[in-house]
Structure 1
Amino acid sequence: MLNNDRLLVQILLLGLLGASLWVLAPFGSALFWAAVLSFASWPLMRGLTRLLNGRQTAAAGLLTLGWIGLVAVPLVMLGFNLAEHVGAATALFKGYQITGLPPAPDWLVEIPLLGESLLGLWQTIAQQGVAFLATLKPYLGQVGNWLLARSAQVGGGILELSLSLVLVFFFYRDGARLAEFARSLLERLIGDRAEHYLELVAGTVQRVVNGVIGTAAAQALLAFIGFYIAGVPGALILGILTFVFSLIPMGPPLIWVPATAWLFTQGDYGFAIFLGIWGMFVISGVDNILKPYLISRGGNLPLVVVLLGVFGGLLAFGFMGLFLGPTLLAVAYSLLTDWVANKTPASQPPRESLPPDGLD
């Protein structure tokens, strides 16, 4: 017979848990980012706490200020710069509507196979001028709406990132207690295998974080090389901004595309084409190769599991899926592997009992 009082308590506890998750749901992304950031930089937190003679609150505050200066300040500066360049791009387009395109560059006709055709197209557009640009207005409206939607998504991501930089202070300060609570809860659920799966999840998240940061560093270096070769001013600053924006889906094009457009406006068409190709196939292309490799390196996960986790997680959960996808598949893969490896041995035939004393 069921204990009605115990059943009522369980129902109330489940309702309380559901209500708590409902309250925290709007902050899910920010909490997730704060947890990942604090986990990835926890060795820094330990070292700084030792330097400050065990003062965890002071160490957490210093690290949080460091992240704000490293991430939030460049994003604010970039926002002001983009606002200025939007006005300049609008004025440039209005000027083209009146005067048409400038004369074609000399190197355009020297392009193999396509030079004459491109020169004819350039001259046609320059002659028609206003009429041609007028035909582009409906499409420009659609492009503007698309850019507005993408800007809203990026703005929402930046807002979540800013909130996570505030929440990371509490993860630093109370991280040890949260880890102990997670270990106790998992031991209550699955028993002796809790430590194994905690190490599995921690290792997977660490590899994913290393893959994301390593890929962002590689993209920043390649972007700096491209900007330096093309002669774009502030190549080092743009490289640092590329590192920051590499943590956002489709982030690096927000840096190298405006730089390519600026080169076109300055008449450096050759370097503009070079930077466009470099950005599309090198800066943005390395993300699809280096990130899965770094995530799978050092672990026992097949590369195909990592690839499915990264891309499937992005499609299913958005950017958070970059961490959730490989972690979920890693835990599932390990569970299945352990279940197959630790199968119960086949039943053995019963041993024959020895005859009693005195019998042959």
Structure 2
Amino acid sequence: MNHKLTPGRLLAAAIVVLSVWIVHDFIEALLAACVTAIASWPLYAAFRDRLPSRIGKSAGAAIFTGAMTVFVLAPLLFACWALLSEAHALLLGLAAADSQGIGVPEWLANAPVMGPWLAARWQSQLVNPGALLLLTQRTDPSALLGWAQALGQFTARHALIVGFAILLLAFFYREGASLKLELNRGLRDAVGDRAQPYVDIATRAVRASVNSMLVVALFDGLAIALAYTIADAPRALLWAAITGSLAAVPFLGYGAVAAMAVQLALKGGPTTALLSLLLGCAVLITGDKLVRPMVASGGMRLPFVWVLMGCIGGFGVLGLTGVVIGPVALTLAWELWEQRVREPRR
């Protein structure tokens, strides 16, 4: 095979580099669309086979893209809306209590070690009517403005990523079959027949990682519903649904558990709050550290600890998509090690 650098090859490489540089801000959207298309392709193929012939390829892709968008985004939107509603209700309750003065909770005064000190601080700053409002008025307006601006930029950026991911997903569904053939042909020309096994491994790994996210969300939702019922927490099913919806993404579920515990503590239920916090964190740790790697390892030849590191490390580098991409990359690296280093030695 001739790999000599020619002006044509250099020009092609320059065009590729320029194209990647132009679209690098949309890499997250591209990866999210690729992962979703690969993971759901068997479902899409079955859906497409059952569509009437009068419905074209573009219409079928658009219909299935809409269904996948609802399936993926609806739980997250529900969880965010429910958390905002709970936060709004809590703020209204605090405002009503502040108008009459917020008394020191009995459990806080009786808490060991830091309890008396915290009770004294509470007594000096929050007992008088309007004290909480006065504290908020002392907050630096520029800091609040900066926080609001950062939140707005974060929301706008991720809304843009989601929008382009949906558009790209429809394109992948419509052109997926031809793209697969062209990719396989290009890899075969560049690498040889050795490329196909790696494509198959990556495909299985992507689907196993996505399946692990769905299983973890379901496991956490059901287990936390049971845990909150044991802890006698109010609206256990609602909070379990919120936590399960967020738990597909590593670490987001802990925010819901913490919010539940804070709400219970402020309403005067410290024992229930502490028990809910401990049980909720135990369930989330089990889901992230045991259930997710166990399910993902079913489609990968990776040891347990490597699947775990791939999920956590990928999330840190690429966000939500990295939960899938991380284990896939480590799976391919493991396969290369097996075939290029370990097998020849044997």
TM-score by length of 1: 0.75
| Deviation, structure 1 residue 45 | 0.7
* Aligned pairs for 1:123-162 within 5 A: 124-125=120-121, 127-130=123-126, 153=154, 156-157=157-158, 159-162=160-163
Show the counterpart of 2:23: 24
Q: Distance in 1 between matches of 2:166 and 2:60?
A: 15
SS of the aligned residue for 1:286 comes to helix
CA shift digits 1:215-236 (9 cap, x unpaired): 2221222233234443433x44
- What pairs with 1:1-360 in structure 2 (closer than 5 Å)? 7-53=6-52, 55=55, 56-93=57-94, 95-96=97-98, 99-104=101-106, 120=116, 124-125=120-121, 127-130=123-126, 153=154, 156-157=157-158, 159-229=160-230, 230-233=232-235, 235-340=236-341, 343=344
Q: What are the ranges of 5 or more consecutive residues in structure 1 without an aligned counterpart?
A: 346-360
- AA aligned to 2:36 is L
Alpha carbons of structure 1 residues 50 and 322: separation in structure 2 relative to 1, 3 Å: same
Structure 1 residue 191: Cα displacement = 0.5
Task: Call closer, same or farther: CA 1:339–1:127 in 2, change over 3 Å.
Answer: closer
Cα 1:263–1:307 shift into 2, 3 Å: closer
Sort the Cα spacing of 1:86 and 1:144 in 2 relative to 1 into closer, same or farther, 3 A: farther
Assess, with a 3 A threshold, how the Cα gap between structure 1 residues 71 and 84 changes in structure 2: closer, same or farther: same
CA distance in 1, matches of 2:337, 2:84: 52
How many Å apart are 1:35 and its aligned residue? Answer: 1.2
SS in 1 for 2:252: coil
CA contact (8 A) 2:249 2:320 kept: yes
| 1:100 maps to amino acid | I
Greater relative contact order: 1 or 2 (C-alpha under 8 angstroms, separation 6 or more)? 2
> Using the alignment, how far apart are the partners of 2:182 and 2:303 within structure 1?
31
For residues 25-56 of structure 1, the C-alpha deviation after alignment (integer angstroms, 9 at most, x for no partner) is: 12111111111112111121111112114654
Q: Secondary structure at the match of 1:99?
A: coil
Structure 1 window deviating more from structure 2 (297-306 vs 211-220): it is 297-306
What 5-or-longer segments of structure 2 have no aligned partner? Answer: none
Instruction: Name the stretch that deviates more: 43-52 or 158-167.
Output: 158-167
1:341 deviation in Å?
5.6
| Contact persistence 2:261–2:276 (CA under 8 A) | yes
Larger radius of gyration: 1
Alpha-carbon displacement from aligned partner over 1:154-190 (angstroms, at most 9, x marks no partner): 7744653354234322222211111111111110111
Between the two proteins, the alignment pairs up a number of residues equal to: 333
CA distance 1:299–1:203, shift in 2 (3 Å): same
Name the SS of the counterpart of 1:248 in structure 2. Answer: coil
Within 1, Cα distance between the matches of 2:189 and 2:105?
75
Closer, same or farther: CA 267–241 of 1 in aligned 2, 3 Å: same
Displacement, 1:123?
A: 5.1
Tell me which residue corresponds to 1:351.
none
In structure 2, do the counterparts of structure 1 residues 281 and 135 end up closer, same or farther at CA, with 3 Å as the change threshold? farther
Mapped to 2, the partners of 1:150 and 1:102 lie a distance apart of 33
Following the alignment from structure 1 to structure 2, what is the Cα–Cα distance between the partners of residues 50 and 58?
A: 13
- Kept in 2: contact 1:38–1:172 (CA 8 A): yes
